[in-house]
Amino acid sequence: MDTEKAEGAVREVAGKVQATAGAVVGDSATQLAGKARELSGKAQELCADYASMVRETAATKPITTLAVVAAVSFVAGAVWRVGGSTRDDQ
């Protein structure tokens, strides 16, 4: 996931540059687009970090990972089952 993290860092820096350029020129739309790009890059970096952490945990503790996935799946299924049908069965 190093490429995802690197792409996020590049996007974050590009966003900072764009936001600064927008502030210098006085163009609020460019400044806002730069801030959005910066936040997008930061989110991409955090996602890459999270994916790496999950991958490491799954490799070192497979039984725990399986138990967590089973529990989350059970809860999601229960929520889906409860909210699935609102009509009365005839």
pLDDT in tens, 25-77: 999 999 999 999 999 999 999 999 999 998 998 999 999 999 999 999 999 99
Planar angle of CA 81, 83, 85, nearest 5 degrees = 80
In a domain, 52, yes or no: yes
Q: Give residue 82's pLDDT band: very low, low, confident or very high (50, 70, 90).
A: confident
Contacts of 85 (CB under 8 A, 6+ apart): none
In a domain, 88, yes or no: no
Tokens 């890059």: give the residue. 41
In a domain, 89, yes or no: no
pTM of whole model > 0.85? no
Q: Based on the structure, what is the number of domains in the chain?
A: 1
Q: Give residue 2's pLDDT band: very low, low, confident or very high (50, 70, 90).
A: confident
Q: Are 54 and 47 in contact (CB under 8 A)?
A: no
Backbone phi and psi for residue 19, each to the nearest 5 degrees, phi listed first: -65, -40
Distance CA 19, CA 37 (A): 9
In a domain, 16, yes or no: yes
Domain extent, residue 19, equals 2-83
